[in-house]
């Protein structure tokens, strides 16, 4: 397992456009589908990563808590499934069922969307406001496998609450830590190679 941290893209960055298929419903999902959202939380995840497994139950709970708030959740799976078949669309669909995820999981086969977001690890969180500007990026909370810190989703929840209340982005934003995105050979983005 190769450990990586969020790239911490500049706040205010525009949300990249995307058109990907939801592995559960099979429907195409794009940025335009969320034009009326008060916020969009994009999460890069994988099934095999113990850092994702560590927060999966609470992530499901948090997403359900914000249903009806106007904040939409989207998960994206970008790993090289030839090398990591446990992150295939079929396996990710099983994960969605296991944890009762209420949000779509999109498959980024070309890995171009992960590169556009400058995603680096799983899990990696990006929260955008209603105009598609980056409001928060980084960790779910301070819990990591083995550090005995409770999994609460506190950092992300505070950011979502601030967004919904019309507040400024949280001043303290910490990078997420997790398994590096598993890039296809020759597909590694510059920010990964220089990290």
* CB neighbour class for 12 (10 Å; exposed up to 12, middle 13-18, buried from 19): exposed
Q: How many helices (H) and strands (E) does the chain have?
A: 5, 10
Q: How confident is the model over 82-100, as pLDDT tens digits?
A: 999 999 999 999 999 999 9
Q: What is the pTM of this model?
A: 0.96
**pLDDT band, very low/low/confident/very high, at 193 (cuts 50, 70, 90):** low
The mean pLDDT value of the chain amounts to 95
CA 184 from centre of chain: 19
**pLDDT band, very low/low/confident/very high, at 190 (cuts 50, 70, 90):** confident
Q: How confident is the model over 109-161, as pLDDT tens digits?
A: 999 999 999 999 999 999 999 999 999 999 999 999 999 999 999 999 999 99
Residue spans of the domains in the chain: they are 3-193
Starting at the earlier edge strand, list the strands of the sheet with 71-77.
28-30, 19-22, 105-107, 71-77, 39-44, 124-129, 134-138
Fold of 3-193: Glutaredoxin (3.40.30)
């Amino acid at each position: 397992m190769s450990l990586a941290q969020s790239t911490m893209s500049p706040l205010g960055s525009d949300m990249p456009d995307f058109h990907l298929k939801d592995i559960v419903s099979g429907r195409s999902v794009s940025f335009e589908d969320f034009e009326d959202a008060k916020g969009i939380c994009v999460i890069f995840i994988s099934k095999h990563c113990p850092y994702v497994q560590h927060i999966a139950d609470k992530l499901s709970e948090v997403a359900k808590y914000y249903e009806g708030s106007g904040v939409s959740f989207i998960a994206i799976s970008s790993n090289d499934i030839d090398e990591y078949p446990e992150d295939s669309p079929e396996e990710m669909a099983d994960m969605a069922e296991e944890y009762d995820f209420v949000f779509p999981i999109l498959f980024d086969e070309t890995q171009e969307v992960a590169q556009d977001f400058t995603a680096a690890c799983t899990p990696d969180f990006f929260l955008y406001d209603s105009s598609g500007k980056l409001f928060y990026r980084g960790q779910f909370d301070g819990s990591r496998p083995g550090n005995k810190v409770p999994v609460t989703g506190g950092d992300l929840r505070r950011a979502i609450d601030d967004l919904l209340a019309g507040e400024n982005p949280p001043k303290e934003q910490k990078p997420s830590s997790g398994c590096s995105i598993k890039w296809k050979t020759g597909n590694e983005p510059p920010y990964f190679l220089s990290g």
